[in-house]
Amino acid sequence: MTLITRILPRKTPSLLSTLRAHFHSATPNMTLNLESSIVAANEGYVSKFSASDENLLLPPVKEVAVVTCMDTNIMPASALGFKLGDAHLIRNGGGSAREALRSLVVSQQLFGTKAILIIKHTDCGMTTFDNPTLHGTIKKNLGVDADGEDFGAIENIEQAVRDDVEFLKTHKLIPEVVRGNTTGWIYDPKTGKLTKVV
């Protein structure tokens, strides 16, 4: 089974073959098409845009930082009811607290956030591979040895949420007040529902 098949368990086989063909035929032209659609969309956005004095302040209004996955099926601001200026949203593959630590420290020490939400999700792509599989793919595709790298594969989502919360609550760079306001959640992309784990 190829990595693409394993990484996209929610997609249909026909979509997978389309994606594979897409990757293999990627050209600079594709990037240009994407760029022009983004520029057009942004022009529409700017024409309706208005910023308030409140949301232009650097400290987040709700004094919270959210760490969640880069998954395309999560729109954190919509799911959590956040407006511009409300919260720091930190995203990476799997919503890893370890990877987000640098941003969390900046968020707390310089911009006064006092709470952290760790939000992972069901059907996460990070549960579909392990380090040796990705090391092999990298070797094959790039000819590079990345065997020492940990790409943060997840075996069990709920356990990963608990581990990340524990990691933050015992980390010397996370202040006591924030530790007490650090919670872990699982989001379901099929229903939009957020469930508290810890």
CA distances from 98 to 39, 67, 167 (A): 34, 10, 8
- Residue 71 binds Zn ion (CB under 5 A): yes
Of 104 and 154, nearer to Zn ion (C-beta) is 154
Task: Supply the minimum distance, in Å, between the C-beta of residue 168 and Zn ion.
Answer: 19
Residue 152 structure tokens: 């943060």
Q: Are 156 and 171 in contact (CB under 8 A)?
A: no
Query: CB neighbours of 119 closer than 8 A, spacing ≥ 6?
Result: 66, 67, 68, 69, 74, 76, 95, 184, 185, 186, 187, 194
If binding means CB under 5 A, how many residues of this protein chain bind Zn ion? Answer: 3
Q: Are 151 and 128 in contact (CB under 8 A)?
A: no
The piece of 6-14, 69-77, 162-170, 185-193 that touches Zn ion (CB under 5 A) is 69-77
- Residue 67 binds Zn ion (CB under 5 A): no
Of 62 and 91, nearer to Zn ion (C-beta) is 91
The piece of 1-9, 36-44, 77-85, 121-129 that touches Zn ion (CB under 5 A) is 121-129
Q: Are 160 and 154 in contact (CB under 8 A)?
A: yes
Burial class (CB in 10 A: 0-12, 13-18, 19+), 151: middle
Task: Supply the minimum distance, in Å, between the C-beta of residue 67 and Zn ion.
Answer: 12
Residue from 104, 115, 116, 124 in contact with Zn ion (CB under 5 A): 124
The piece of 3-11, 63-71, 110-118, 129-137 that touches Zn ion (CB under 5 A) is 63-71
- Residue 97 binds Zn ion (CB under 5 A): no
Task: Supply the minimum distance, in Å, between the C-beta of residue 122 and Zn ion.
Answer: 9
- Residue 69 binds Zn ion (CB under 5 A): yes
Distance CA 183, CA 14 (A): 39
Nearest to 5 by CA among 165, 156, 142, 129: 129
Q: Are 97 and 170 in contact (CB under 8 A)?
A: no
Task: Supply the minimum distance, in Å, between the C-beta of residue 186 and Zn ion.
Answer: 11
Task: Supply the minimum distance, in Å, between the C-beta of residue 123 and Zn ion.
Answer: 8
- Residue 100 binds Zn ion (CB under 5 A): no
Of 60 and 189, nearer to Zn ion (C-beta) is 189
Q: Which chain residues interact with Zn ion by CB under 5 A?
A: 69, 71, 124
